[in-house]
Amino acid sequence: EYEQMLDLPAGYARRKQRYLQAQKEVAVEHYRTHGQCIASTIHALGYPCRSVLSDWIGEVFPEARKKTLGGFKQINYPDSMKQAGVMALCARNGSAQAIAEKLGICRVTLCNWKNQLLGNDAPTSMKLSNNSSPDQVEVKRQIEMLQSELRQFQLERDLLKTTNEVLEKGLCVDPKKLSNREKTLLVEAHKEQYPLSELFGQLGLPRSSYFYHKARLQADDKYLAVRKTISDIFEQNYRCYGYRRLKAVLTEQNIILSEKVVQRLMKQEGLLVAKPKRQRYGSYLGEISPAPENLINRNFQAAAPNEKWLTDITEFHIPAGKVYLSPIINCFDGLVISWSIGTRPNADLVNTMLDTAIESVDQSKERPIVHSDRGAHYRWPGWLSRISNANLVRSMSRKGCSPDNAACEGFFGRLKTELFYYRDWAGVTIEQFIQIVDTYIRWYNEKRIKVSLGALSPIEYRKRLGLIT
């Protein structure tokens, strides 16, 4: 239809706008005039979701996307200073405030040092008696420290043992990573041996959460019989039934429960369905328009520049967020003709890249084949109109067949092996990472030698052939 009419039917592949322009303006204005808080704006207006409102704000206030990273710089005191301060506190003749002021710290910090070195149970004062020598006080302090460490080890051992016996979690499970309900069960098992405050601190359990779950445990469990039924169904069906199918089986047995209740009971009983391995990023959304023929057919050799172009999108996941790269590779020498890097794999990412590549082509003489996968970015009207206006030829891989675009995938593999995988990207911002990738691609074109080009970079190879000056 597009080739015949040079247009698509009204409403084709276009989503109906959920919100009116007036609603969008009201939301952005409320955000601007009420403290610039996304949560309060959504709560006051009742719409939209957080991500949609963030997009609206980014369109009206682009500077709002920029964030400044910073924080409080913690002072690290030397261990010798901590030990001297604790010794002075335990054998003091003055007040703790005076000792803290002498060291240049606050009294709370001095008490925290004492708790770290001696434990919470150690007395804050060990003043010398008339018959005590400093050596005796030091021996007493070391004995109390060893006793505190021994008690700590005993508590950790007992909690791990109970986790294995009562909760059947295994000895390698960290008790701090258990749910608050499971931590409450551990506290109930050891509250006769250890103080509650000591158990709460060891498990990281808030006091209020303990009493809440304790009351829930003491109440009658109305789902006691259902729990056994759900577990039996789950085990009898190769442990592959999720909450939807479990709910369907329960309904057949005249046990009416909501999906949320089934989900909660499965979580409490530890009934987890095995998940498939995480797949790499893919933009395929189905056959939204007719796909052209695979003209490349895995022949990635070209006799002249701008004869065959390859393109795709790859994803980088760093602690600061996700970054996407969309390049166009020339099959003649592997030169990256153009590229765009952004935080969203949208149509603007690929359209900007294509516009830059078209500018480098003599449209009266050259008609490159643009080969891609079947991603949605390469099937929308914006991409199709650019291809048609520039007199380019489209080519697409077969569905789910990455080897049909192996040369472009190989470029991504080399880039990630040489730049991405071996480095720790903690502390690197999105803007810094984009600049690093951009610098690498320029180096790839200008400096990185390729054996297939006679140990020359793509730019040097073209200069050697006299294609560029």
Q: Which one is predicted more confidently, 364 or 154? A: 154
CB 164 within 8 A of CB 170: yes
Amino acid in position 306 = N
Residue 282, pLDDT > 50, answer yes
Q: How confident is the model at residue 64 (pLDDT cuts 50, 70, 90)?
A: low
Closest by alpha carbon to 316, among 441, 439, 430?
Answer: 430
pLDDT at 335: 93
98-153 pLDDT, tens digit per residue, is 888 888 888 888 888 888 777 665 555 555 454 555 666 677 777 778 888 888 88
Amino acid in position 451 = V
Burial grade of 131 (CB within 10 A; 0-12, 13-18, 19 or more): exposed
Q: Which of 19-33, 238-252, 323-337, 414-428 ranks highest by mean pLDDT? A: 323-337
> Which whole number is the average pLDDT over 16-43?
82
pLDDT at 277: 44
pLDDT at 323: 94
Least confident of 5-14, 29-38, 279-288, 378-387: 279-288
3-class state of residue 436 by DSSP:
helix
Residue 285, pLDDT > 60, answer no
Residue 207, pLDDT > 80, answer yes
pLDDT at 429: 94
Q: Cα–Cα distances in Å, from 169 out to 79, 172, 176, 264?
A: 38, 8, 13, 19
pLDDT at 69: 43
Residue 202, pLDDT > 50, answer yes
139-150 pLDDT, tens digit per residue, is 777 777 888 888
Least confident of 64-68, 83-87, 351-355: 64-68
Closest by alpha carbon to 334, among 283, 399, 406?
Answer: 406
Closest by alpha carbon to 90, among 139, 133, 141?
Answer: 141
Residue 170, pLDDT > 70, answer no
Mean pLDDT of the chain: 81
